[in-house]
Copies of this chain bind each other. A is one copy, B any other.
């Protein structure tokens, strides 16, 4: 079972399991849209889906995984499209980094509710999980690669601690931080994007 509740690898899913998984995801989507991620409880999702709590928790250890499942398709598309754009030959690494960061900002804005809601249950011991998540790894690796290319192309100071900076540039994209700036302070997306890009050391 992978982290989105799908059968991983070759092993196949029993039909009752598959049915329940579909029902649970559909129920979650509806409930989340109706009342917001935060105010929906796991108990309720189980009840409305017509399954026991054990069944729900077997695949989705907490609400965050449910949000991830709902974000699965948008995330794939986002990564796909981004990779294609970055494959362009003519742009400089620094230019690509600009594009990448801007796209991350936009993606975050577009999926803010699910991202924010999915962050909620990541509290106690597992709140560091998000830093070892594949999607986060992908971001970090991409930024790191572009920074290194920037160094090679002479646009970035070679003395820069690129490993640190790659991560630090992602910190303002942390969902809570972003949510606060955007929803509470009312900072428009464009300002976040250009502000973030201004942080890239040249």
Interface of A with B (CB < 8 Å)? 38, 119-121, 123-125, 127-128, 131, 160-161, 164-165, 167-169, 171-172, 174, 176-177, 179-181, 184, 187, 191-192, 194-196, 198-199, 201
Contact = CB atoms under 8 A, between A and B. Distances in A.
B171 A177 contact: yes
Main secondary structure of the interface of A (DSSP, over half): helix
Given A168-B195, A168-B199, A177-B174, A124 B120 contact: yes
Contact of A198 (B165, B172, B180, B198): B165
Contacts of A174: 171, 174, 177
A128 B164 contact: no
A199 B192 CA distance: 16
B161 A198 contact: yes
A161 to B, nearest CB: 5
Contacts of A187: 164
Nearest to A184: B128
Given A161-B191, A171-B174, 19 more contacts: A119-B127, A120-B127, A123-B123, A128-B179, A128-B184, A131-B177, A131-B180, A160-B198, A164-B187, A164-B191, A164-B196, A164-B198, A165-B195, A167-B172, A167-B181, A168-B199, A174-B177, A198-B201, A199-B199
